[in-house]
Structure 1
Amino acid sequence: MLLKNALFSQVGIGITANTLLLLFHIFTFCQDHRPKPSSLTVCHLALVHTAMLLTVVLLASPDLFESLHFQNDFKCKALYYIGRVMQGLSICTTGVLSTIQAVTLSPSTSWMAKFKHKLMNTVTRAYVFTWTLTLASSGNLLFYIVSFSNLNQTNLMFLNKYCSLSPMSSLIRYLFYALTTSRDVSFVGVMLLSSVYLVNLLFRHQRRAQHLHSASLSPRPSPERRAAQAVLLLVGFFVVMSWMDFLITTFPILLSAYGPDVLSVRILVSNVYATVSPLVLLSSDGRVSRVLRNVQQVFTSI
């Protein structure tokens, strides 16, 4: 019950934060009429995390699961497949977002500057590639996720009260495992490289600015420093939680001890990033603080 309550609290905070992040950027679109690639990517990330957290709620709550008027086998396949696809898209979208920020802030003398004028087309192609790759790398779940009512086997791997994972051949298991792992490692590598490049640019810009302005004139951290700290926090937190999820998922499978307790802890860990990332993005965006100050002024005047 403690793990279940923690899970529902986590999901509630995550869905609320991602919804606020999405609505804020939609409100920004309506004002600017010129959506930026980074804003579109943040919206995509918020939608992915919202869908991922919703699947967690449906799978963790028997009442909500039974309220879906479909066969259990279809519900198990669809929900676990969607959840795995959204988890993969979370990794890919974070890597794309980090790369967009690095390209956007790169100086005109950098080799990355040539991508600025065609960044929107590049991002669109990245979306197509990541969706295709993620849908394909999770395809095995459509065949091997089953409901308990359909198969009466004793060697099924427990997933929840209604769903389980049927045995698969070693070739299929290691093929999809290698495909998923290579995808995740590749995008985490891209994320780290682009984030290191971005942080280096921000600190170089800050050092140049310190020669022109006295530090006493700006007691608060500069926007560049706040952005660098946000990138470091987001990427560092993502990498730590991803590897914790990887270790919790891999070792019980290798030891054939993937029980309900391990599964509950794994679900909590795998959804921490989806809950925390919108809070980091909201807190690091100066426009959010301005909107909140304006709202506060309105309520104060009333």
Structure 2
Amino acid sequence: MIPLSAYIAMNKYLLFQAGIGMTANTFLLLFHTLTFLLNHRPKLTDLTTCHLAFVHIALLITVLFLFSPDLFESLNFWNDFKCKTLFYMSRVMRGLSICTTCLLSIIQAITMSPHTSWLAQFKYKSTHFIFYFFFFIWFLCLCFSTSMIFHTVATSNVTQTRLMVLTKYCSFSPISPSIMGLMFMMTTSRDIFLIGVMLLSSVYMVILLLRHQRRSQHLHSTSLSPRSSPEKRATQTILLLVSFFVVMYWVDFIISSSSLILWTYDSVILGAQSVVVNVYATVSPFVLVSSDKRIVNMLHNILWK
């Protein structure tokens, strides 16, 4: 049996984590939304960062409702409907998080690419295509996550003994091995493909940075050094986010795969997995804010006026 104190402590930490993450992501979303509205030629990274912040806010909101009994009960719907909606929303937002992070790494690789590269042709494309891409990944993630609607149930409404208990009110009903294998293969294939693209774009950016640094040292010119250039700062930020995301993803993958294979879950395991999943949504806005010179200058002017 899991001690009640461990369960309560885990829930409190999750709620605290969600609160911090929502505050940071809301600030990031508002800043980039204003930048997008006031700037006639917004950067693709501004639009993508807006989308990533919105996705993480929605993801963290699901944590608040799933792990806070008071908030869960405050929703005046059937428990079965609430469980299906919240877990479906959580899975969709997790998929959107990896898709948007992948897009952010691709855009930064395009921004860093030299004029002689074939990627350079995408540098000055209209920002309209990014909205089509957002529509596509939303459609993709909504479709990939439909299984959550059918297999998430309210614990009190079902008498089955082989339910996998997820929270106080929600459980996961048994799945046939063939359907589970298909779900696992589709989701894993998508995630591995996106992580592969992120890693390829990261390697490409590292090569460009090393080449630029070598050229600058050869010319013995400090003015050409990329040390303080906005491109280098932005690239280092994306590389940090990608590395952090990949580590968190594989930890989550190991926990969730083990639980599905053994068909066992307890509140602490679910809480630990949620911490791993949501830590990226909580940390990423701080990384993006600290590396954005516009935000740093704005906060400096506000604090030191």
Task: Give TM-score, length-normalised by structure 2.
Answer: 0.91
Larger deviation, residues 107-116 vs 27-36 = 27-36
* Correspondence for 1:152: 159
Identity of aligned residues (%): 57
User: Which of 124, 127, 137 is residue 130 of structure 1 equivalent to?
Assistant: 137
What do residues 80-131 of structure 1 show as CA deviations (whole Å, max 9, x unaligned)?
0001000010000000111011112211110111222335344233222211
**Does the Cα contact within 8 Å between 2:255 and 2:273 map onto a contact in 1?**
yes
Give the direction of change, closer, same or farther, for the CA distance of 1:228–1:38 in structure 2 (3 Å limit): closer
Within the alignment, does 1:97 sit opposite 2:113 as a pair? Answer: no
* 8 A Cα contact 2:216 2:224, kept in partner: no
Report SS of the residue matched to 1:35.
coil
Select the residue among 214, 223, 227 that pairs with 1:207.
214
Stretch of structure 1 that moved more, 198-207 or 235-244: 198-207
Task: Determine which of 89, 95, 104 is the counterpart of 1:88.
Answer: 95
- Equivalent residue for 2:45, pick from 38, 41, 47: 38
Q: What secondary structure is seen at the aligned counterpart in 1 of 2:171?
A: strand
Q: Identify the match of residue 178 of structure 2 among 171, 178, 181.
A: 171
Name the structure 2 match of 1:183: 190
Aligned to 1:229: 236
Using the TM superposition, name which of 238-247 and 186-195 deviates more. Answer: 186-195
The Cα shift of 1:260 comes to 1.7
Instruction: Indicate the RMSD between aligned Cα atoms, in angstroms.
Output: 2.1
Q: CA deviation at 1:247?
A: 0.5
116-125 or 83-92: bigger deviation = 116-125
Within-5 A mapping of 1:1-302: 1-118=8-125, 120-211=127-218, 214-215=221-222, 221-298=228-305
Partners in 2 of 1:179 and 1:86 — Cα distance?
A: 17
Q: TM-score, normalised by structure 1?
A: 0.92
Q: 1:135: Cα distance to partner?
A: 0.9
Per-residue deviation, 1:253: 1.9
Which blocks of at least 5 consecutive residues in structure 1 are unaligned?
none
Taking the aligned partners of 1:35 and 1:226, their CA distance within structure 2 comes to 19
Taking a change above 3 Å as real, the CA distance of residues 3 and 244 of structure 1, as seen in their structure-2 partners, is same
- Contact 1:103–1:115 under 8 Å retained in 2: yes
Structure 1 residue 162 displacement after superposition: 0.8
> CA separation of 1:123/1:27 partners in 2, compared to 1, >3 Å: closer, same or farther?
closer
CA contact under 8 A between 1:98 and 1:195: conserved in structure 2?
yes
Q: For each residue in 1:38-71, what CA deviation from the matched residue of structure 2 results, as whole angstroms up to 9, or x when unmatched?
A: 1111000000000000001100001000100111
Contact 2:52 2:100 in 1 (8 A): yes
Structure 1 letter corresponding to 2:204: Y
Determine helix, strand or coil for the equivalent of 1:117: coil
Matched residues in 2 for 1:107 and 1:16: separation? 37
Change (3 A) 1:118 1:221: closer
Query: 1:177-221: CA deviations, max 9, x gaps?
Result: 111111111111111111221232233233334455655998x75
Aligned length: 298
Amino acid at match of 2:298: V
CA contact (8 A) 1:203 1:224 kept: no
Q: Which runs of 5+ in 2 are unaligned?
A: 1-7
- What is the alpha-carbon distance in structure 1 between the residues aligned to residue 72 and residue 130 of structure 2? 35
Q: Which moved more, 1:224-233 or 1:98-107?
A: 224-233
The change in CA–CA distance for 1:97 and 1:82 in structure 2 (over 3 A counts) is same
For 1:37 and 1:225, the matched residues in 2 are separated by 17
Contact 1:58 1:64 in 2 (8 A): yes
Q: How many angstroms apart in 2 are the aligned matches of 1:251 and 1:262?
A: 11
